[in-house]
Amino acid sequence: MQRPSCLLYTFVFLGQGAHAFPLLFFFFGYFLANPSFSIIPLLIIAAANSGSVTFLGRNLYSIKNTVRVYYDFLLRFSGCKLTEQFIDDLGLENANGKTHPIKVFHVSRNKDKNSPSPSSLCAYISDEYTPSYLFLTEPIEKMISGFQRFKLWHEIGHINQGAKDYETMINMLGLGWKSYFSILICVIINLNILSLSSNENRVLLGLLLITLVAYSILISNIKKREWLISELEADRFALGQILRTASAELTSLYEKISNKNFLYDKSVSENENDFRRYVFLKQIEDMNFDYPKGTWREMMSAAINSISAIALIYIGTMSKRLDWVDILINFLFFIVLPLLLTIILFVFRTRGILPVLDKALTAMEKGDFVQRTFWLDITLPFLKFLNGESQKKSKFLV
């Protein structure tokens, strides 16, 4: 790969900056048009907003995954008996020394002949405060071949801190609405839109549309890359664990993956599958083999998003002059409101959703069926909306 120029790096930096801290660019524009000390609290608001929205995103991410365990797995396979498995005996070694709570279950055949049993193992990844779940079709003591161990370690790799942190970060970045909502709210409360002339309104609308398109390109490319990086990191983790605990299995694993296309995900492109297989085999040959982390597509999409940075600065110059009341309103909307929502979601998660999930798991451990619950049912439409289900190929929930 040819080395990108400094100019491209500058655009990439601007594009990523606008995505992570959109308000910072808006208020910088405001400062250019209205230089005063009021910029100091505004800069604090812009920086703190990213933190408070990240807390909000983290809670939503966790709730979404918890609800997904319930609807996507427990209700779907209600009637299958769960038996808790313990992975400590496998000699798990976390990539970064941290431990992450994982609950592992073996899923037996469904006692209701008309209801399905799972045909593949399944992982649900949560944040570091609530357990992640791993459901196996085989008891752990039977998963001794290279393939079975690879599948097991691969899923644990997703759950493991190293892979998980990256995914969480990407999910935070991937919350496109975070950036775009911040901008829309910022425009509504800081621009006296009604007082703008029709020409200024057209410019504003044009800039907002350009920003939306540039953001969409960036987010779409981050999402595409998210799958690949997450799989490659989980593969690397799995191979590392096999090398440590059963290195003889690596040779047969290499032969099987070389000869047959078992490392295949039909939901992504042939190129991505080929690249994953290539990295996988290279890593077996040399565990230190690394793959290029950045791609031109990502860099270009971040560079395109630098248009958003410039547009935001320009929109900022159109802002009305802000007094202390306006700054207080900004503070309430961008810091207090997300934090308040975070607290509400945290209580909902710990007092509402988690006990329901525990109850369902306990029922299945006893071999009983799981019943639907009102409180989870009413959250479904909201979570589906947040998950952008309409834009996804796969179903989010049953």
Of the candidates 271, 266, 309, 61, the one whose C-alpha atom is nearest the C-alpha of residue 174 is: 61
CB neighbours of residue 315 within 10 Å: 24
Q: Could you say whether residue 267 binds another protein (CB under 8 A)?
A: yes
Q: Could you say whether residue 148 binds another protein (CB under 8 A)?
A: yes
Minimum CB separation of residue 350 from another protein in Å reads 22
CA separation for the pair 93, 97 (Å, rounded): 7
Q: Which residues pair with 105 in a beta bridge?
A: 84, 135
Tokens 């990108």, residue located: 4
Q: With CB under 8 A as the contact rule, which of the stretches 5-13, 46-54, 144-152, 296-304 interacts with another protein?
A: 144-152
Q: Could you say whether residue 274 binds another protein (CB under 8 A)?
A: no
Tokens coding 380? 């479904």
Q: Which helix (H) or strand (E) holds 326?
A: helix 324-331
- Binding residues for another protein restricted to 208-237, rule: CB under 8 A: 231
Non-local (6+) Cβ contacts of 219 within 8 A are 174, 176
Q: Could you say whether residue 138 binds another protein (CB under 8 A)?
A: yes
CA separation for the pair 154, 175 (Å, rounded): 25
CA separation for the pair 95, 326 (Å, rounded): 47
Q: Could you say whether residue 145 binds another protein (CB under 8 A)?
A: yes
First to last CA, the chain: 43
Q: With CB under 8 A as the contact rule, which of the stretches 4-12, 136-144, 211-219, 349-357 interacts with another protein?
A: 136-144
Tokens 């490659």, residue located: 232
Q: Which of 68, 164, 178, 225 binds another protein (CB under 8 A)?
A: 68
Distance of CA 219 to the CA centre of its chain: 12
Minimum CB separation of residue 398 from another protein in Å reads 8
Q: Could you say whether residue 119 binds another protein (CB under 8 A)?
A: yes
Q: With CB under 8 A as the contact rule, which of the stretches 33-41, 82-90, 142-150, 169-177 interacts with another protein?
A: 142-150
Nearer to another protein, 51 or 116 (CB): 116
Minimum CB separation of residue 155 from another protein in Å reads 6
- Tell me phi and psi for residue 123, to 5 degrees: -125, 140
Q: Could you say whether residue 393 binds another protein (CB under 8 A)?
A: no
Q: Could you say whether residue 123 binds another protein (CB under 8 A)?
A: yes
Grouping H, G, I as helix, E, B as strand and the rest as coil, residue 11 is: helix
Q: With CB under 8 A as the contact rule, which of the stretches 27-35, 105-113, 238-246, 305-313 interacts with another protein?
A: 105-113
Q: With CB under 8 A as the contact rule, which of the stretches 177-185, 257-265, 286-294, 335-343 interacts with another protein?
A: 257-265
Nearer to another protein, 12 or 159 (CB): 159
Q: Could you say whether residue 396 binds another protein (CB under 8 A)?
A: yes
Minimum CB separation of residue 142 from another protein in Å reads 7
Contact 45, 327 (CB under 8 A): yes
Q: Could you say whether residue 260 binds another protein (CB under 8 A)?
A: yes
Q: With CB under 8 A as the contact rule, which of the stretches 39-47, 69-77, 83-91, 279-287 interacts with another protein?
A: 69-77
Residue 73 is given by DSSP the state: I
Tokens coding 209? 């549309």
Non-local (6+) Cβ contacts of 14 within 8 A are 305, 306, 309, 310
Grouping H, G, I as helix, E, B as strand and the rest as coil, residue 189 is: helix
Minimum CB separation of residue 252 from another protein in Å reads 9
- Binding residues for another protein restricted to 173-212, rule: CB under 8 A: none
CB neighbours of residue 350 within 10 Å: 13
Q: Which of 18, 263, 309, 335 binds another protein (CB under 8 A)?
A: 263
Amino acid code (one letter) for 73: F
Q: How many residues bind another protein (CB under 8 A)?
A: 44
Q: Which helix (H) or strand (E) holds 56?
A: helix 39-68
Tokens 């425009």, residue located: 187
Q: With CB under 8 A as the contact rule, which of the stretches 1-9, 43-51, 197-205, 255-263 interacts with another protein?
A: 255-263
Minimum CB separation of residue 113 from another protein in Å reads 7
Q: Could you say whether residue 130 binds another protein (CB under 8 A)?
A: no
Residues that bind another protein (CB under 8 A): 68, 72-73, 76-77, 109-110, 113-124, 135, 137-138, 142-143, 145, 147-148, 151, 154-155, 231, 256, 259-260, 262-267, 394-397
